[in-house]
Amino acid sequence: MKKYFSVLLIVLSVITSLNAQVNVKPLNPSETTQKMSALLQLINGFYVDTLDMSHLTEEAIVSTLKQLDPHSSYISKKDVEKANEPLEGSFEGVGLTFQLYKDTILVIAPVPGGPSDKVGILAGDKIIKVNGEDAFGKKITNQWVMDHLRGKKGTEVTVSIYRHGVDGLIEFSIIRDKIPLNSIDAAFMLDNKTGYIKLNRFARNSLEEFNNAIIDLKKQGMKNLVFDLRSNSGGYLSTALAISDEFLPEGKMVVYTEGIHSPRQELDATKAGEMENGKLAVLINEGSASASEIVSGAIQDWDRGVIIGRRSFGKGLVQRPFRLPDGSVVRLTVARYYTPSGRCIQKPYNEGVEEYYKDFAHRLEHGELMNADSIHFPDSLKYTTHGGRTVYGGGGIMPDIFIPWDSTRFNELYFDLIRKGIFNSYVNDYLDANRQKLNKQYSDFQDFNKNFKISEEEFDEFITRAKERIEVKQEQLEPNTDFMKLQLKALIARNLYDTNDYFEVLWPEDRDIKKALETINEDLVYRSYGMEKGE
């Protein structure tokens, strides 16, 4: 166990060294480093039972970090690579999206140009064997699939596929490769002048994806943009800065960071910028956090665009990763970030981590998700934008235009259908029986989107299947029937064509997007929020 004690001592000495570098009050060894080392040695030498001292040390680290703030965190050595994957923007594997369906691996779609796509694996295929081992039954979990299909670039894996209409299994040998993780879910035109981009996280490759989407939409005539950051929980600060730079002129401050041990650092926009002109609407909600709030805060403070939706999450803390001697990582909060007007939008966390993450439930209880008037900010948190509009700090970005939660559409029945997988189950069976017919009937997604509808008979079958698993209350079903049909159509489009097409099917019934487009198209309304015409 000596190595664990030495690791802990090295960690504490690193902290001591850092303290010395930033000129703060030094640690008292008898009250800190020596005390902790003595405790661990006492436990290891005298405790009544045998203990996993490595695990005990990790638990002590986790408990310590919980006393600091809700966002300082510990990542074990084995989880470091997995934790970084979504933000790094790639992994190595076979390149397909899948879903576990009836204890079987169902291919939703191969990644375009990826290894599975190159050998001819298709949406709707079912993986029955991996390297000769059965790939179905109760043992099959998401982790099992990743353990068996992911692997080092250049290595080979053999899969046996069941394909509807083909006798026997088809065997494919796939050479693993680097697979991109896209951070843009959708990019398409809402009308002949306004484009739409939905970003799900601020990853390392997000700026490149964003610029490619902008270039493509401009070729289609885009002058204005609806930028969807709803439920985007954040990512790299550098990426948030780079994407904000696409909207703001050179020299405009995007954000500044400051902490007791971190001197103030101001980050400004540069000459670069693909969308410095044109009208802009940014969509946010209670799930928009961190980097999303940096971007929306900068746009709001400079009156560059109108913010639409509901109050954002309220994460205004900056984490810096510190690698520990065993390869594990501590993400430690080192500073707060502030919008250009001086707002820190970090919500309070003095009541502990559990209460902090119950904030959504508290907002629901207080009526905030339904009515903007239930939100009260003290005058001490009042700030002004570049154009003189009043904005507030201390708890997220408050939108310029509030859109209430749609409790009629997103009701108990809808969420039961989602939770129990009834939407996906029906769509998978529907496509199993109709994929070939649909591919012949519709030449492409646009043809499908224009002409396909879920029939009354098909919807009745869907509800009949739902009743086998959940209670279907008529008062919850009737006002939601049309939206549920649209949801089924969108899921069919996603599985038949692309993820982008799922969002394109749904947007005409999305109140936030409709309000954004309406605001952009009405010059007087847009200007009433301090915006220039922008075209």
Spacing of C-alpha 159 from chain mean position: 30
309 forms beta bridges with: 284, 402
**Closest by alpha carbon to 227, among 249, 198, 254, 247?**
198
**Closest by alpha carbon to 343, among 291, 395, 389?**
395
Residues with Cβ within 8 Å of residue 474, at least 6 apart in sequence: none
Of all helices (H) and strands (E), which one includes residue 300?
helix 291-301
**Sheet strands (E) in 275-328:** 280-284, 306-309, 317-323
- Residue 483 phi, psi dihedral angles, 5° rounding: -70, -35
Q: Cα separation of 210 and 217, whole Å?
A: 11
Of 198, 252, 279, 315, the active-site residue reads: 315
Asked if residue 418 lies in contact with residue 368, where contact means CB atoms within 8 angstroms, the answer is no
Does 315 participate in catalysis according to the annotation?
A: yes
Does 290 participate in catalysis according to the annotation?
A: yes
Q: Cα separation of 273 and 255, whole Å?
A: 17
Per DSSP, the three-state class of 439 is helix
Burial 256-292 (b: 16+ CB within 10 A, else e): bbebeeeeeeebbbeeeebbbebbbbbbbbbebbbbb
The tokens for 477 are 């079903």
**C-beta neighbour count of 342 within 10 angstroms:** 11
Of 290, 292, 341, 425, the active-site residue reads: 290
Does 301 participate in catalysis according to the annotation?
A: yes
Q: Cα separation of 435 and 492, whole Å?
A: 9
Q: Provide DSSP, 377-435.
A: --GGGEEE-TTS-EEE-SSSPPPSEE----TTTS-HHHHHHHHTTHHHHHHHHHHHHHH
Residues with Cβ within 8 Å of residue 518, at least 6 apart in sequence: 525
**Closest by alpha carbon to 284, among 248, 231, 332, 224?**
231
Q: How would you class 83 by CB atoms within 10 Å of its CB: exposed for 0-12, middle for 13-18, buried for 19 or more?
A: middle
Within 114-219, residue ranges assigned H as helices are 115-119, 142-149, 206-219
Q: Cα separation of 492 and 477, whole Å?
A: 21
Beta pairing, strands 306-309 & 401-402: parallel
Of 125, 177, 228, 301, the active-site residue reads: 301
Q: How far is CA 249 from CA 208, 222, 244, 276, in A?
A: 19, 19, 10, 6
Which residues form the catalytic set? 290, 301, 315
